[in-house]
C-alpha cells in the first residue's frame, strides 16, 4: 500500500482548499515527548516518494523532510512532553500535540486529514485508519514528526549518553531496558509506562526543563 491523493482530492471536490495531513511520532516510547506534525501539501509542487515514515530509511526520511519543508504550502510541529503524557495518558497527549501542530500551522487549514484520531477543533476533519499509509498529506506529516523527534533524541543522547537514545530513540529496546535497570529512569522518562515505573524513581538526575518540542531549554 502506498499513499495517494484520493482523500485530498475528495476534500477539494467538496470545496476545501487548504487540506492538512496530521500525524504523530513517539507514542510507544518510554522517554521524551510525543511529537505531531501538520502539513498542507502544494498540489502544484508534487513530492516523489512520500510514504509512511516507518517504511523509510533514516536517510530517505531526512531527504523527504527537507523537500516537504521546501515545497509544502505550510507545515508545523507540536508536542506534548513526558509530564503531560503521565498526567493525561498517551492518547490524550497525542491529541494535544496534534492540536498544537495545527494551531501553529500557517496558513490555517480548512480541512484536516488525521491518522486514526479526531481533534477538538472547529475545523472539518476526517479520521483515517492507517492514514500514514493511505494519504500523502498524512504521510508527509508522519515524516516531519518522526525526523523532528529523532533530532531531539540525538540532543538528549548527548546529555544522557548512558541510555543510548540516538540508537533506540527512546523505545523500549533491550538496550534501553538494560540502561533503565542499571541507571534508573531520568526525570524525562514516562512513569505511566510500566517498564519505567518498575525501574524506580529518578536517581541522580537533575530535572532539565524542556521546551514545547522536547529540546533542552
CA dist 15 and 65 (Å) reads 28
> What pLDDT is attached to residue 202?
61
Calculated CA dihedral for residues 7, 12, 17, 20, nearest 10 degrees: 0
- 92: which 3 cell numbers? 490524550
Of the candidates 74, 79, 146, 149, which has an alpha carbon nearest to the alpha carbon of residue 106? Answer: 74
Whether 76 maps to a domain, the answer reads: yes
Whether 198 maps to a domain, the answer reads: no
Whether 102 maps to a domain, the answer reads: yes
> What pLDDT is attached to residue 154?
97
Whether 82 maps to a domain, the answer reads: yes
Whether 106 maps to a domain, the answer reads: yes
38: which strand partners?
22, 76
135: which strand partners?
4
Q: What is the pLDDT along the chain (217 residues), one digit of tens a residue?
A: 799 999 999 999 999 999 999 999 999 999 999 999 999 999 999 999 999 999 999 999 999 999 999 999 999 999 999 999 999 999 999 999 999 999 999 999 999 999 999 999 999 999 999 999 999 999 999 999 999 999 999 999 999 999 999 999 999 999 999 999 999 999 999 999 999 999 987 653 433 434 434 443 3
| Residue found under cell 481533534 | 119
pTM of the model: 0.92
> What pLDDT is attached to residue 211?
45
Whether 18 maps to a domain, the answer reads: yes
How many domains does the chain fold into? Answer: 1
SS3 content of the chain, % helix, strand, coil (to 5): 45, 15, 40
CA dist 140 and 122 (Å) reads 23
Q: Which domain holds residue 86?
A: 6-153
Whether 184 maps to a domain, the answer reads: no
Phi-psi region of 204 (alpha: psi -120 to 50; beta: other; left: phi over 0): left
> What pLDDT is attached to residue 206?
36
C-alpha separations of 74 from 48, 108, 115 in Å: 18, 8, 18
Q: What is the CATH number of the domain that holds 63?
A: 3.30.420.10
Whether 191 maps to a domain, the answer reads: no
Amino acid at each position: 500500500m502506498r499513499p495517494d491523493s484520493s482523500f485530498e482530492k475528495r476534500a477539494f471536490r467538496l470545496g476545501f482548499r487548504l487540506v492538512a495531513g496530521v500525524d504523530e511520532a513517539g507514542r510507544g516510547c518510554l522517554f521524551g515527548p510525543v511529537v505531531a506534525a501538520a502539513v498542507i501539501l502544494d498540489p502544484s509542487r508534487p513530492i516523489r516518494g512520500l510514504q509512511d515514515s516507518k517504511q523509510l530509511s533514516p536517510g530517505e526520511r531526512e531527504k523527504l523532510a527537507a523537500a516537504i519543508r521546501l515545497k509544502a504550502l505550510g507545515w508545523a510541529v507540536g508536542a506534548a512532553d513526558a509530564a503531560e503524557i503521565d498526567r493525561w495518558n498517551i492518547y490524550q497527549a497525542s491529541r494535544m500535540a496534534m492540536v498544537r501542530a495545527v494551531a501553529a500551522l500557517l496558513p490555517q487549514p480548512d480541512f484536516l486529514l488525521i491518522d486514526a484520531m479526531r481533534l477538538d477543533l472547529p475545523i472539518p476533519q476526517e479520521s483515517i485508519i492507517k492514514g500514514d499509509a493511505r494519504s500523502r498529506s498524512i504521510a508527509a506529516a508522519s515524516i516531519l514528526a518522526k525526523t523532528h523527534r529523532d533530532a531531539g533524541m540525538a540532543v538528549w543522547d548527548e546529555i544522557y549518553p548512558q541510555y543510548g537514545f540516538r540508537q533506540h530513540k527512546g523505545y523500549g529496546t533491550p538496550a534501553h531496558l538494560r540502561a533503565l535497570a542499571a541507571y534508573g529512569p531520568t526525570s524525562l522518562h514516562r512513569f505511566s509506562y510500566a517498564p519505567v515505573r518498575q525501574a524506580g524513581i529518578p536517581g541522580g538526575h537533575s530535572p532539565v526543563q524542556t521546551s514545547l518540542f522536547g529540546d533542552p531549554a
